[in-house]
Structure 1
Amino acid sequence: MAKNQKSYTLEFKQQIVDLYNAGGTSYPKLEREYGVNR
């Protein structure tokens, strides 16, 4: 049985990394807001 796996665009991934690196946004908050996992 195949797993349902989300795929994200490179632009979306970069946006999340930029938000995290800019500071002021914790990773747990990004996980909740954008539905991403480590």
Structure 2
Amino acid sequence: MIMAQRENKTAINLIIDSISNRKDRIDDLRENIKLIRDEEE
């Protein structure tokens, strides 16, 4: 029982990590888009 809970926690942590990594990447893309727009003006 405890093992299953531990495995679930690990899976949840991995999901949270991948979501926050994706969010960071999206933020980076937003920054890049902003820079490109600024250069075009």
Higher relative contact order (CA 8 A, sep 6+): 1
Higher helix share: 2
State which structure, 1 or 2, has the greater radius of gyration over its C-alpha atoms. Answer: 2
- Settle same-fold status: TM greater than 0.5: no
Scaled by the length of structure 1, the TM-score of the pair is 0.37
